[in-house]
Amino acid sequence: MIKAVKIRLFPNEEQELLMYKSVGIARFAYNWGLNRWNEIYESGDKPNKVNIRTEFNQLKKIEKYQWLKEVSGQVTAYAFEDLNEAFTNFFKGSSNRPQFKSKRKSKQSFYVRYDAIKIKGNTVNIEKIGKVVFKYNKEIPELRKYVNPRCSYDGKYWYLSLGFEQDNNKNVLSNVSVGIDLGIKVLAVASNIDKPIENINKTKTVKKLKKKLKRKQRQVSRKYEMNKQGKKFNKTKNIIKLEKAIKLIHRKLKNISLNHLHQATYMIVKTKPSRVVMETLNIQGIMKNRYLSKAIAQQCFYEFKRQIKYKCEFNGIKFVEADKWYPSSKTCSNCGHIKKVLKLSERTYICEECGSIIDRDLNAAINLSRYSA
């Protein structure tokens, strides 16, 4: 299995400038390639990543595009690999059509040439950037080839992620089957854990941050209106400061959510069950509910599923997705009676046959644990 490590980099001013340039050139190459791809497709021909990349390399010979040579050639080469993968996923139906990357919204990252990476002590060598100081609290395996090494910037710190092959854990598993029911009031209810996993968005820390975010967004909106010149908005230094503060709050909220998901999934996997069963959710369909869409988006169900899936695979646990129409919530976990109607407002399941009273989410989790395809 391919595992990854993410190390924090401490570049000097010169190195950081080269990193920013690499991010910008990677985005420029991707957008140029996407535009060329669309042009070829509209003309009736079949686009090819090799032809587009060869055509792009001719730009480097033009005087006004000499700045493309300031960074590693692998940065632009893998921008076209990413573009090709994006179109492959689009034609498979697993993602939307590739869009142009904006400077403000797109992830700031670039590919790092794997055979130029050399780790020595607390420094890592990156092609064209040099030896960059890093910090990591675990040992990094020294390999000839790392899988998909990427350098990224999250608005505050620089990171380098390195993938490598690692053997799966050989754990002695119990015969327990775990059912997981995802929700909005709580993140999830697992059949083998006494307490439900809390919704991190309802904690005091997150609520305080969201309140601060709302206040900063109002401030920047007022400043834009105050500095409006005709139809144009004048971006002052104070607006830039506020926008940076807003980005950092978004970053903090994202990290809190991601950390909570990792802790939740690890809590389930460390019990070493033989299998984990999750319900199949139609997220796109649920998101159409305008009353619940925001709450569902904040729960990050897809990320929870992704994490539990790869952690199960790494630990030799069987991961099962229950059928979309499996009535886990409507079925009584005590006698097996299925209710015809169960409203979303009914948080306690009361069986009409045996009189069993149980929490709705726990009842669904127990039923999922017994699921057989």
pTM: 0.85
Residue 275's DSSP bridge partners are 177, 318
Q: What mean pLDDT comes out for the span 31-57?
A: 92
43: left (phi over 0), alpha (psi -120 to 50) or beta: alpha
Beta strands at 177-182 and 188-190: parallel, antiparallel or unpaired: antiparallel
**Domain spans, the chain:** 2-165, 177-197+244-321
Mean pLDDT, the chain, rounded, equals: 91
Distance of CA 78 to the CA centre of its chain: 20
If you write DSSP's letter for every residue of 153-203 in order, what string do you get? E-SS-EEEEEEEE-PPP-----S-EEEEEE-SSSSEEETT-SSPBP-GGGS
Pair 344, 166: CB distance under 8 Å:
no
Q: Which tokens hold the place of 148?
A: 């998909």
Give the separation between CA 162 and CA 173, rounded to whole angstroms: 30
> How does pLDDT run across 233-249, given as a tens digit for each residue?
888 999 999 999 999 99
Give the H or E element holding residue 4: strand 2-10
pLDDT reported for residue 56 = 93
pLDDT reported for residue 123 = 93
The residue among 281 and 219 whose pLDDT is bigger is: 219
Pair 11, 157: CB distance under 8 Å:
no
Q: Does the pLDDT of residue 2 top 90, yes or no?
A: no
Neighbours of 286 (CB within 10 A): 14
> How does pLDDT run across 161-213, given as a tens digit for each residue?
998 887 777 777 888 899 999 988 999 999 988 899 999 999 999 999 999 99
Residue 150's DSSP bridge partners are 111, 161
Beta strands at 318-321 and 348-350: parallel, antiparallel or unpaired: unpaired
Q: Which residues of 192-202 are buried (b: 16+ CB within 10 A; e: fewer)?
A: bbeebbebbbe
Pair 263, 165: CB distance under 8 Å:
no
Q: Does the pLDDT of residue 319 top 90, yes or no?
A: yes
